[in-house]
């Protein structure tokens, strides 16, 4: 006879009961839930434990593990999040906030004392540390996407579990506004697709017992990356500039092919725009010029990353005409056209020390050499020699596919 793992009837009480029995908060929810779990056949208890672990990771990948063991409402679940945080344990409070993504970092804190901060987790929970007793321990971790060449070199590649023994002491002078009695250690490691910056605080010089307790909690650190990740620096791209796209793949191998796809503003589909290969550790990076606000993603081994929105600033050209220095041409160079849009010409007021609106130019001329469109207008300005002028495309005129843009200044 085929045995069936009937986990479809698992209740939330039973799942949380199993979590709490495995290093969860000390108090049970109900005695009835505990009895129902123990009454199940052994194979169903094993299946129930698997469901409970999956729920713990799912909660961690959503809004994270709250104080004690809060459960993320199903309405807040989102796709393609990176799971991170500390699993709850007896006598420890854990909190997590933010998310690991393009231009964003996640924070998680675990403490064997009440956390005085409310809301988001902080890299250094000063309010808690100010009253940290001699036996108090606070572990704070920040998580960021790996693959950014400008950041990765700071992190040593390692694997979970992390070790307190690898952390380096931080001098009191380098710990900011911390009490003199607090001992501070720091550990920077790269695990999978994440760079993790860990700060460990003890209320005093750590005893072997305190070190062991910190190690046990550090071993409850959870990091679950997507199969392929993508980040961008910067995500707001200045006019006529590129951005660095970066990320990792789950294989951790070099020479893996990664394809970059983009969905430009106004389009309903992704198209392939670039490609690269991974380096050692499965990291990849490349320079990319969007040209227009776009959603981009990385594709590896048939799997797509979450999307990153690159916001492009409008590119303005402003210069006097060679034949007549009192006449100026202003152009918006873009993939989209700006016919009849209005550009504000600003004059620098040296007395006030700031730019002031001078004139408005309506763009009425258009040319499209290749994929780019030049939409232009002219201005006549008889001003004292040496007057500084510049052109500004306001956000209202740049929408929806560009951010506001400013030209380089010129002199009359």
The full set of domain ranges for the chain reads 9-61, 64-224, 231-312, 315-411
pLDDT at 121: 55
pLDDT at 289: 94
Question: What letter does residue 227 receive in the DSSP assignment?
Answer: S
231-312 and 315-411 agree in CATH topology: yes
Task: Report d(CA 290, CA 292) in Å as an integer.
Answer: 5
Instruction: Indicate the class that CATH gives domain 231-312.
Output: mainly beta
Give the torsion through C-alpha atoms of 360, 364, 367, 368, to 10 deg: 80
**Over 50: is that where the pLDDT of 225 sits?**
yes
Q: Which residues contact 134 (CB under 8 A, 6 or more apart)?
A: 181, 203, 204
Q: Report the range out of 17-31, 99-113, 214-228, 296-310 with the highest average pLDDT.
A: 296-310
Percent of the chain with pLDDT over 90: 49
* Beta pairing class for 342-349 and 354-362: antiparallel
Task: Return the higher-pLDDT residue of 370 and 277.
Answer: 277
Q: Which residues contact 91 (CB under 8 A, 6 or more apart)?
A: 26, 112
pTM strictly above 0.75: no
Q: How many CB atoms lie within 10 A of CB 81?
A: 20
**Over 70: is that where the pLDDT of 389 sits?**
yes
Task: Return the higher-pLDDT residue of 72 and 117.
Answer: 117
Residue 118 pLDDT level (bands cut at 50, 70, 90) = low
**Over 50: is that where the pLDDT of 283 sits?**
yes
Looking at CATH, the fold of the domain delimited by 315-411 is given as: Immunoglobulin-like (2.60.40)
pLDDT digits (tens, 9 = 90+) for 318-348: 999 888 878 999 999 999 989 999 999 999 9
pLDDT at 101: 62
Which class for 63: exposed (0-12), middle (13-18), buried (19 or more C-beta within 10 A)?
buried
pLDDT at 173: 61
Residue 151 pLDDT level (bands cut at 50, 70, 90) = confident
Residue 160 pLDDT level (bands cut at 50, 70, 90) = confident
């Amino acid at each position: 006879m085929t045995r069936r793992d009937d986990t479809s009837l698992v209740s939330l009480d039973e799942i949380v009961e199993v979590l709490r029995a495995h290093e969860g908060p000390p108090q049970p929810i109900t005695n009835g839930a505990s009895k129902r779990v123990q009454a199940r056949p052994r194979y169903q208890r094993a299946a129930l434990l698997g469901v409970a672990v999956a729920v713990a990771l799912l909660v961690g990948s959503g809004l994270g593990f709250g104080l004690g063991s809060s459960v993320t409402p199903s309405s807040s679940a989102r796709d393609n999040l990176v799971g991170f945080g500390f699993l709850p344990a007896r006598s420890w409070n854990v909190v997590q906030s933010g998310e690991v993504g393009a231009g964003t970092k996640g924070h998680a804190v675990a403490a064997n004392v009440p956390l005085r901060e409310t809301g988001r987790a902080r890299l250094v929970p000063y309010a808690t540390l100010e009253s940290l007793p001699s036996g108090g321990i606070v572990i704070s971790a920040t998580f960021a996407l790996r693959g950014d060449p400008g950041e990765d070199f700071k992190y040593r590649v390692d694997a979970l579990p992390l070790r307190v023994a690898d952390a380096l002491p931080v001098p009191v002078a380098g710990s900011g506004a911390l009490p003199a009695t607090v001992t501070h250690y720091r550990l920077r490691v790269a695990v999978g697709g994440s760079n993790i910056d860990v700060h460990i605080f003890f209320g005093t010089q750590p005893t072997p017992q305190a070190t062991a307790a910190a190690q046990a909690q550090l071993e409850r650190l959870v990091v679950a990356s997507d199969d392929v990740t993508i980040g961008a620096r910067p995500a707001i791209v200045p006019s006529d500039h590129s951005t660095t796209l970066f990320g990792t793949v789950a294989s951790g191998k070099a020479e893996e092919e990664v394809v970059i796809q983009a969905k430009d503003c106004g389009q309903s589909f992704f198209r392939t725009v670039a490609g690269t290969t991974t380096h050692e550790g499965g990291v990849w990076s490349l320079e990319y010029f969007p040209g227009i606000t776009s959603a981009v993603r990385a594709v590896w081994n048939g799997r797509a990353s979450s999307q990153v929105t690159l916001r492009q600033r409008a590119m303005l050209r402003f210069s006097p005409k060679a034949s007549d220095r009192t006449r100026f041409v202003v152009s918006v160079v873009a993939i989209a056209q700006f016919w009849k849009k209005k550009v504000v010409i600003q004059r620098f007021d040296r007395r006030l020390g700031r730019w002031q609106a001078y004139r408005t130019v309506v763009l009425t001329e258009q040319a499209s050499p290749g994929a780019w469109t030049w939409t232009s207008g002219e201005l006549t300005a008889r001003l004292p020699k040496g007057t500084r002028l510049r052109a500004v495309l306001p956000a209202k005129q740049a929408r929806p596919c560009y951010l506001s843009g400013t030209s380089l200044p010129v002199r009359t």
